[in-house]
Amino acid sequence: DKIKVALNGYGTIGKRVADAVMRQDDMTLVGIAKTKPDYEAYAANKKGYPIYAVDPAKAESKFKAAGISLAGSNLDMIKKADIVVDCAPEGLGEENKKSIYDKLDKPAIFQGGEEHEVAGTSFNAAANYAQAIGKKYVRVVSCNTTGLCRLLYAMDTAFGVQKARVVLVRRGGDPNDAKRGPINGIVPDPIHLPSHHGPDVQTVLPHINIDTAAMKVPTTLMHMHFVNATLKKKPSRDEIIAAIKQYPRLWLIPSWYTIKFTGDVIEFGRELGRPRNDIMENAIWEESVTIDKEGEFNVFQAIHQESDVVPENIDCIRAMTGIEKDGKKSMEKTNKALAIGN
């Protein structure tokens, strides 16, 4: 039987997870829940996704006026599902847990905007798939943390990470977000060091010694990380490249592609005909992969904040429901269904 998935919250992350669920042969989408009708609801309706209202008393007349028929309330949707993926705005996942998932006794996946404690288990498919097996609540870590966990897990497994230091240059807001910024300037965010990203990586990889600093800049396309790590073994550059190549979600950009900046990465997504030009892989510049005599590894990677967590949510569904106990097999299946790595 296919796993029945409900999407509670249908914004930047939720709509992508819903589409990704539809592309798996072992899952079905029960429906999506929205607070109000808008262009995303219009598109979901056109795709034939059953639409449920987060607060029907408030929303019913608005959906009716928009010509979108509702399948019920989000509670109705969640009751029909085996598992919920909560993609509500930051902090609301915790409220939904108390007011809905606990009461209906329904397994739920939370996103990176929630605290680790909301779920008690934080997830990255390559790093700790097995820890999510059979769990009731799991949090898929944020876009930046996902990107860092993927790379640091690969480096740690192959060579041992003694200490990682990361500078994150973060997009000011998503392309459809008019409220965030800055529109002119560079914001140390947070000014207090280290930033929360290091401890967040440790919710998945507790033994990794890591310091992080982050800045926000006026761009919407992607984040950029400069990663420096002292490695216990002293691998050659070729060995590092070979290690990266073992993971399809770590995508090495050869220099002949002439991808010069994040704009080119996104344009490449468009050229490939990727849905919403999504780049779900870490985009790693091969030319920047460097190792010195002391075993210091340096690299640039770009992270598509809107989509890199999507395959991780799919794998998390398989782990929590136990339909696939082998993380490698789940990732292979997800990668194939989403054309990751090609």
Q: How far is the CB of 12 from ligand NAD (least distance, A)?
A: 4
Helix (H, G, I), strand (E, B) or coil at 86: strand
What single DSSP character describes residue 43?
A: H
316 is catalytic: no
Residue 111 binds ligand NAD, judged by CB under 6 A: yes
Among 31, 37, 50, 113, binds ligand NAD (CB under 6 A): 113
Residue holding tokens 């073994």? 233
Residue 63 binds ligand NAD, judged by CB under 6 A: no
| Residue number with the smallest Cβ distance to ligand NAD | 11
Catalytic residue among 87, 143, 149, 316: 143
Among 3, 6, 13, 119, binds ligand NAD (CB under 6 A): 13
Binding residues for ligand NAD, total number by CB under 6 A: 27
What single DSSP character describes residue 98?
A: I
Among 6, 21, 29, 33, binds ligand NAD (CB under 6 A): 33
For the stretch 108-132, what's the b/e string if a residue is b when 16 or more beta carbons lie within 10 angstroms of its beta carbon? bbbbbbbbbebbebbbbbbbbbebb
Q: 217: exposed, middle or buried (C-beta count within 10 Å: 0-12, 13-18, 19+)?
A: middle
Footprint of ligand NAD on residues 70-99 (CB under 6 A)? 87-90, 92, 96
CA distances from residue 227 to 40, 118, 157, 166, 304 in whole angstroms, order as listed: 36, 29, 16, 5, 16
User: Which residues have C-beta within 8 Å of that of residue 34, sequence separation ≥ 6?
Assistant: 10, 40, 41, 44, 51, 52, 53, 54, 59
Residue 265 binds ligand NAD, judged by CB under 6 A: no
Residue 148 binds ligand NAD, judged by CB under 6 A: no
Number of Cβ atoms within 10 Å of the Cβ of 58: 11
Q: How far is the CB of 110 from ligand NAD (least distance, A)?
A: 7
Residue 31 binds ligand NAD, judged by CB under 6 A: no
Among 5, 6, 7, 8, binds ligand NAD (CB under 6 A): 8
Contact 326, 132 (CB under 8 A): no
Among 309, 316, 317, 340, binds ligand NAD (CB under 6 A): 309
Residue 262 binds ligand NAD, judged by CB under 6 A: no
Binding piece for ligand NAD, criterion CB under 6 A, among 108-116, 252-260, 279-287, 328-336? 108-116
Among 5, 7, 11, 313, binds ligand NAD (CB under 6 A): 11
Per DSSP bridges, beta strands 290-291 and 296-303 are antiparallel
The catalytic residues are 143
